[in-house]
Amino acid sequence: MKKIITFAGSNSKNSINKELAIYATTLVEDTEVDVLDLNDFELPLYGIDYEIEHGIPDNAHKFLEHIKSSNGIVLSLAEHNGAYATVFKNIFDWMSRIDGKLWSDKPMLLMATSPGGRGGTTVLEIAKGRFPYMGGNIVGTFSLPSFGTNFQDGTIINEELNAQLTEEIKQFQNSL
């Protein structure tokens, strides 16, 4: 059985991106899912002086090991001021110090959602442009706009958007 990891690029305890990521994994068949929470991998703010003095923290190594031991990644990025949430950028930076190709060419379904009508499309574009240089094998992308309107009771209620996600899931599933 294939093992996938899923997580949100957020440290919110009530992350809408985590809800979306978990929902998406319920659509992937015949897989074991490991749900990760960035709150369980607390890290100091990345800085070269810290790295020289203390080395790379264990939690960066642990998170990277989850990536490397998986067959695929489902990631939903929170968008803060048009970019990655600080907590995601920080773990991303720490892992890149261990392995510049940190995504390890694992098939990746990359998503974002937000309360607004753009659904995190700006952060998705940033990630789609950057991740391939870091070993990212993005096989599908999905943006869910207006989370509160389109996602209720653990599912996407907008049939058209749910169909779009289902198509992206098929691509992801076939790449595992």
Q: Give residue-wise pLDDT tens across range 48-104.
A: 999 999 999 999 999 999 999 999 999 999 999 999 999 999 999 999 999 999 999
Q: Find residue 107's DSSP bridge partners.
A: 137
At 114, is the pLDDT very low, low, confident or very high (cuts 50, 70, 90)? very high
pLDDT at site 4: 98
pLDDT at site 17: 98
pLDDT at site 59: 98
pLDDT at site 49: 98
Residue 54 near residue 141 (C-beta atoms within 8 A): no
Task: Scan for tokens 């098929």, then name that residue.
Answer: 170
At 141, is the pLDDT very low, low, confident or very high (cuts 50, 70, 90)? very high
pLDDT at site 18: 98
- CA distance linking residue 148 with residue 152, whole number of Å: 7
pLDDT at site 103: 98
pLDDT at site 136: 97
pLDDT at site 145: 98
Q: Is 61 helix (H, G, I), strand (E, B) or coil?
A: helix
Say whether pTM exceeds 0.85.
yes
pLDDT at site 20: 98
* Mean pLDDT value of segment 31-48: 98
CB atoms near residue 139 (< 10 Å) = 19
Give long-range contacts, CB 8 A cutoff, 24+ apart: 86-91: 87/9, 87/10, 87/11, 87/38, 88/9, 88/10, 88/38, 90/43, 90/45, 90/46, 91/38, 91/41, 91/43, 91/59, 91/60, 91/63
For all residues of the chain together, what is the average pLDDT? Answer: 98
